Amino acid sequence: MPDVVLTGRSTADVVDGLAARLAAVPAPGAGPRVVAVDGRSGTGKTDLAAALARRTGAAVVHLDDLYPGWSGLAAAVELLGEVLDGLRSGAPASHPVWDWARAAYVREVALPTSGTVVVEGVGAGCARPVDLLVRLEADAELRRARALARDGETFAPHWDAWAVQEAELFSRERFRPDVVLSSATAVGGEPLWR
């Protein structure tokens, strides 16, 4: 299928292009369509996924809910694979939610059996093939500034170790993105996409 051209550089323009691309994807035999918004920390995955979910009515799975702590990136990708297998079966599926303060999974969140599910977070596109894989990129300095502005001193002591996990994960990634977007410095709080 030819790529849908993502016109403009605003988040709204990018979301319109992604929604058009998603609409062109045939419905799966069972379960919902799955969109993965992947990329390293601070690339804008959560914001773009939220905008796409608002535009399409999709449910969102945040990988922040699946990571079992700061050293759990690979484990979360494995767990996501199990969640996606459940979704693809067409049967009721759910995912656990990690409580970072308690260092334990504390509850389950049910997922829809039809429609669209957007999975966002580092590793979102690494577990299983999805219907639309979007990779976000940004330079390291901008990513770090965004991540620390978002999570403050909670993330700062873990940045380097997390970056090593990201590099390891993406060095062995198996799935080719359908769309790659690079975000630049925000103007008025909104990223510019190219």
Residue 142 has what pLDDT? Answer: 87
Residue 78: both structure tokens together:
């494995």
Whole-number pLDDT of residue 186: 52
Q: For the chain, what are the domain ranges? A: 11-193
Q: What is the pLDDT of residue 153?
A: 76
Report CA Rg, the chain: 16
Give 11-193's CATH code, choosing from 3.50.50.60, 3.40.50.10090, 3.40.50.300, 3.40.50.620: 3.40.50.300
pLDDT given at position 189: 52
Q: Write down the pLDDT at residue 52.
A: 96
Beta carbons within 8 Å of 157's beta carbon, 6+ residues apart: none
| pLDDT at residue 1, as a whole number | 36
User: pLDDT means per 10 residues in the chain (194 residues)?
Assistant: 48 89 88 95 92 96 97 96 93 94 96 95 94 92 86 82 94 87 62 54
DSSP codes of every residue in 24-63: TSPPPSSS-EEEEEEESTTSSHHHHHHHHHHHHT-EEEEG
How many Å apart are CA 144 and CA 52, to the nearest integer? 24
Query: Nearest to residue 134, comparing CAs of 38, 11, 63?
Result: 38
Task: Please tell me the distance from the alpha carbon of residue 55 to that of residue 66, in angstroms, as a whole number.
Answer: 24
Residue (of 3, 13, 119) closest to 59 by Cα position: 119
